[in-house]
Chain A
Amino acid sequence: MPSLPIRHDVKMKIVTAVVKPFRLDDVKQALKDAGVTGMTVTEVRGFGRQGGHTETYRGAEYKIDFVPKVRVEIVTDDADADRVVDAIVAAAATGKIGDGKVWVTPVERLVRIRTGDEGTSAV
């Protein structure tokens, strides 16, 4: 069996957060303050325990299941992952239901496309 061309020695994580859209600017600033140099942001819709919400159009109530959220993704060195998570949690929290979630996933390989750099130097 040929060996996989993937370097398994790198120690990186991807931190994914789904937060309330109006907290995004605070989350971004907190991450910059924590030394994060890049992130990817996507507008998403979904629901958790908060469920959806109710809207009223011409007297008729509509149950809207999917509420707008923002997904933030940051690739980070293993050592920094907890700090990144904590920064997001502190900045995104409003204390009300629907604040979202943050989770951490291992990253198998990372390449900077421009230079071909791999691993933590490409973060």
Chain B
Amino acid sequence: MFNSGDTAWVLISAALVLFMTPGLAFFYGGMVRARHVLGMLMQNIFAMGIISVLWSAIGYSLAFGGNNSIIGDASHLFLSGLTDDGSIPTMAFVAFQMMFAVITPALITGATADRLRFGSYALFIAIWSVVVYAPVARWVWNADGWIYTMGSLDFAGGAAIHINAGVAALAVVMVIGPRKGHGVEPMPPHNLPFTVLGTGILWFGWIGFNAGSALAANGIAAQAVVNTHLAAAAGMLTWLLIERVKTGHATTLGAASGAVAGLVAVTPCAGFIGDASPLIIGAIAGALCYLSLGLKGRLKVDDSLDVIAVHLVGGLVGTVLLGFFADTSVNADGFDGMFFGGGGELLKDQIVAAVAVMAFSFTVTWLIAQAIQRTIGLRVSEGDELTGLDQSVHAESAYQA
């Protein structure tokens, strides 16, 4: 017998998470230059098309079918053969998970901004979703997945989504190289109001992303709502504080980035922590993500919109800190972290999970990107890049003069 409250909350959460992808489109779209904004919006909303189809056809089955610890099977191709055994219909879980599958590869587009061929991008995220995302989701969230059974915790996707997409972004930009003129000409955001709007949509949707992961309308979901919101708030404050001290100005882009950093970091923790923990985790994320902005320079890559600093570092911050802050008095299905009497076992499992996802995702993503680069090519021509993706790839203009 289904619980109607649980079912309603998960279905609403699916809609909230869906809304995050267009939110991400505007978050990123505002940061690129005006002649590439449609290219960015298109890459994001296109993920809603292609990944949804692939997820229903094969992705869900590979992530959640069968009993293997590494990979699923073909038992639920095209969402066939689903059975119900919980308080919500399995189809509600499918819908909710589908929206996660959609947004994860879309996160990568921030790193590769302004220079991907559209067809090659489509091929890349299609392969990536099946070959990288589905197995990692399996490891982390399926009851038989090896990271899950090891005892690592990932409430809503610190490792499965943010570390995964963040390190994949690094691999792709290492293959494709920097934007033309990177480091020579300034490439300031063309429309920060879009970015602030996108941040609001992301923040709003993240309530469903994290609290929906309780898969029930219960106290853990309520705790996750509050944790999510507080981490975003604290992340914004520390980012702005450091920025104000270091550059003399508190910026709207800083407020947006700090909030997202806090949201990323609290994602794995949302249903496992309480009290002041979300404030501490969010604050640390805001600070560490800001201080990681220079990382791309040291790695000599053009991570155009700082996917590494925000998603990879933010995901690592949350995944590792959960090893300290997890509290079974909040969620008895979790484990206690070091600060709550749990010893170092959970911290070790968190680090193993993070390292495993990084190693797998980086390696396989790099291979996919190389394969596409060396066959049909991943980048547009130099002329098309200078013209802008909007005109050269999509034959449109965002702004009629």
Contacts and interface: CB of A to CB of B under 8 A. Distances in A.
B243 A57 contact: no
A42 interface: no
Which of A57, A63, A64 is the most central at the interface, judged by chain B CB atoms within 10 Å of its CB?
A57
A62 interface: yes
Nearest to A63: B186
A60 B189 CA distance: 12
B189 to A, nearest CB: 6
B188 A55 contact: yes
Nearest to B186: A62
B83 interface: no
A56 B186 contact: no
B306 A56 contact: no
A8 interface: no
Contacts of A64: 186, 188
A58 B186 contact: no
Nearest to A60: B293
A62 B184 CA distance: 11
A95 interface: no
Contact of A57 (B246, B251, B290, B294): B251
A26 B270 CA distance: 54
A59 interface: yes
A59 B188 contact: no
Interface string A49-67: 0000001111111111000
A57 B188 contact: yes
A56 B293 CA distance: 13
Interface in B148-203: 186, 188-189
A58 B188 contact: no
Dominant secondary structure at the A interface: strand
Nearest to A59: B293
Interface in B175-233: 186, 188-189
Interface in A44-94: 55-64
A59 B290 contact: yes
B129 interface: no
Interface residues of A, number: 10
Interface residues of B, number: 16
B112 interface: no
A63 B187 CA distance: 10
A56 B257 contact: no
A59 to B, nearest CB: 5
A62 B247 CA distance: 12
B249 interface: yes
B70 interface: no
A31 B249 CA distance: 38
Contacts of B249: 56
A57 B249 CA distance: 10
Interface string B234-248: 000000000100111
A71 to B, nearest CB: 16
Which of A55, A59, A62 is the most central at the interface, judged by chain B CB atoms within 10 Å of its CB?
A59
B166 to A, nearest CB: 16
A29 B247 CA distance: 39
Contacts of A56: 247-249, 251
A60 B257 CA distance: 14
B364 interface: no
Nearest to B247: A56
Which of B188, B248, B249 is the most central at the interface, judged by chain A CB atoms within 10 Å of its CB?
B188
Nearest to B249: A56
A3 B88 CA distance: 91
Interface string B272-314: 0000000000000000001001100000000000100000000
Contacts of A61: 247
Nearest to A58: B293
A107 B5 CA distance: 77
A61 B249 CA distance: 11
Nearest to A61: B247
A30 B248 CA distance: 38
Nearest to B309: A58
Contacts of A55: 188
A59 B257 CA distance: 11
16 contacts: A55-B188, A56-B247, A56-B249, A57-B189, A58-B253, A58-B254, A58-B257, A58-B290, A59-B243, A59-B246, A59-B247, A59-B293, A60-B293, A61-B247, A62-B188, A63-B186
Given A58-B290, A59-B293, 17 more contacts: A55-B188, A56-B248, A56-B249, A56-B251, A57-B188, A57-B251, A57-B253, A58-B253, A58-B257, A58-B306, A59-B290, A59-B294, A60-B293, A61-B247, A62-B188, A64-B186, A64-B188
